[in-house]
Amino acid sequence: MEAGGTKMVCAVGSGLNDLEETRFATTSPEQSIREAVSFFISTQQRRGSIRAIGIGTFGPADIDVNSATFGSIKNTPKANWSNTDLATPLRSALGDIPLAFETDVNAAAWGERKWGAARDLDDFVYITVGTGIGGGAVSGGKILHGEGHPEMGHLRVPHDREIDPFDGDCPFHGNCLEGLASGSALQQRWQCDPRELKEDHPGWELEAHYLADALANLTLTLSPGRFILGGGVMEQSHLFHKIRQRLSQRLAGYLSLPELEEFIMPPGLGAQAGVLGALALAQDLISTIPSQP
């Protein structure tokens, strides 16, 4: 299950080529969870028992398996969703089966590693640039958690108001990366749907500028072998070239980077990365349990 701020994606299956999926709008926690449970139960009746659950959720989320509130969304600006426990109602409905719980971007990163553009990579970063911006990292072959989880969307980037007088629209930080470079920021700054901006609109150079600054700092911190950039804004495929060029300029030859076309890539799984990643996480749990005949 991918729990997104605007839509929920639920799927049952064993992989890329065996997947039953449904999508519905995210409403109240009660209704959204009810719809998810109803899909899982009806699919289970046809396909046989679901053996494990994987959830990738919008955050901030309690992904600490040792925490009393593991499996919950924490204090979120999204109305009515603060302190929503996703794990308990799903496990009540589906039986006390293993449950994996991650942020949506961590799950997407994991999906890209299993089936997408990061196969066999132990160190890479997945970033989504959509209405908001989020990022997840795999480091040394494991999802990077730290004490909580990364919040890469809120990275601070240099903001020159002479070039870009837009204040930024992040409710917490104003002009952090998300405040300056998310789909929402583009909409605010240019007062139109960003998809209407032509390829040669200066807004795209500015967008590449901010994203390259964030990628430069992530490179210097995590030393990843690849960046996978997904989300609605990155459907502007001309952005990839602009970001590669600017990142290379920023780092000024200090690090030996992989080929830029290999270093900064689109997702292999597109908009399915999150739900497939949640599936991959559930499968990992099953593989640690003795198999049943």
- The residues binding a copy of itself (CB under 8 A) are 60, 123, 137, 139-140, 142, 144-152, 154-159, 172-173, 213, 216-218, 220-225, 250-256, 258
**CB-nearer residue toward a copy of itself: 99 or 177:** 177
The 8-class DSSP code of residue 81 comes to -
β pairing state of 7-15 and 72-73? unpaired
Q: Are 156 and 176 in contact (CB under 8 A)?
A: yes
> Minimum distance between the CB of residue 274 and a copy of itself, rounded to whole angstroms?
20
Contact (Cβ atoms closer than 8 angstroms) between residue 250 and residue 220: no
Q: Which tokens hold the place of 188?
A: 């605010």
CB of 127 or CB of 186, closer to a copy of itself: 127
Work out how close the CB of 22 gets to a copy of itself at its nearest, in angstroms, rounded to a whole number. 32
With tokens 């299993």, the residue in question is 114
Q: Which is nearer to a copy of itself, 191 or 256 (CB)?
A: 256
To the nearest whole angstrom, how small is the minimum distance from the Cβ of residue 47 to a copy of itself?
Answer: 35
- Rank residues 41 and 255 by Cβ distance to a copy of itself and give the closer one: 255
Burial code of 168-185, b = ≥16 C-beta within 10 A, e = fewer? bbbeeeebbbbbbbbbbb
- Cβ proximity to a copy of itself: between 43 and 219 the closer is 219
> Could you tell me the smallest distance in angstroms from the CB atom of residue 130 to a copy of itself?
18
Number of neighbours of residue 287 by Cβ within 10 angstroms: 9
